[in-house]
Amino acid sequence: NAGVMQNPRHLVRRRGQEARLRCSPMKGHSHVYWYRQLPEEGLKFMVYLQKENIIDESGMPKERFSAEFPKEGPSILRIQQVVRGDSAAYFCASSPGRDETQYFGPGTRLLVL
Amino acid sequence: GQQLNQSPQSMFIQEGEDVSMNCTSSSIFNTWLWYKQDPGEGPVLLIALYKAGELTSNGRLTAQFGITRKDSFLNISASIPSDVGIYFCAGQFKDSGTYKYIFGTGTRLKVLA
């Protein structure tokens, strides 16, 4: 049973470009969560999605960030017009139900030059 | 807002020693979780605790959910070099109908052979 998959593992972008991060949840999991981790810090919640719906986006910056989890395919975290401060590790987690244990992917490390 | 205080921030220990770390909060959580993160990887779940007072073991790891539901500790017995990494506690709470995780800032463990 494959775990949570994220790609790419590393992403380099220049300021102003767009970053697209993908997450495929574990088989049988329909709940996806995105977190951001800055160096030497813990993970900070960004957004919680269930198939085709955003349930909670209270941790998402109001501008430039968006997330989706379509009926078919992976969840996408999209960052438009990236800035240096967006450089971080972005982790996706999935769970089978809304209050069940979350399992994390390996993360995407975004570097903005 | 919810906050978790995790201590110690870092520790160097000799192989074979026991390790103890804890998380405290002024808020109540309904689930406590402990994760380990290796460099360049995502957090891996070690132990999940669901009831106040619960004491759970996973090999050399033991964790307890505090009676007040505001704290948890993780013990590692007879440490070995592969225990090196960052250990995060996470508390789950319900906010506006959705369940969220909040993470501690991590305990960085280094084991000297």
In the predicted model, what is the mean pLDDT of residues B22-36?
A: 94
Out of A48, A102, A105, closest to residue B98 by CB? A48
Q: Cβ contact (<8 Å) for A91 and B44?
A: no
Q: A45 in contact with B at a CB cutoff of 8 Å? A: yes
pLDDT at A52: 87
DSSP string, B54-90: -EEEETTEEEEE-TTSSEEEEEE-S--GGG-EEEEEE
pLDDT per residue as tens digits for the range B36-53: 999 889 999 999 999 999
Q: A53 in contact with B at a CB cutoff of 8 Å? A: no
- Please say if the pLDDT value at position B96 is more than 90: no
Q: A112 in contact with B at a CB cutoff of 8 Å? A: no
In the predicted model, what is the mean pLDDT of residues B87-105?
A: 88
Instruction: Report which DSSP code applies to A83.
Output: -
On chain B, the residues whose CB falls within 8 A of the CB of A96 are none
Q: Cβ contact (<8 Å) for B101 and A104?
A: no
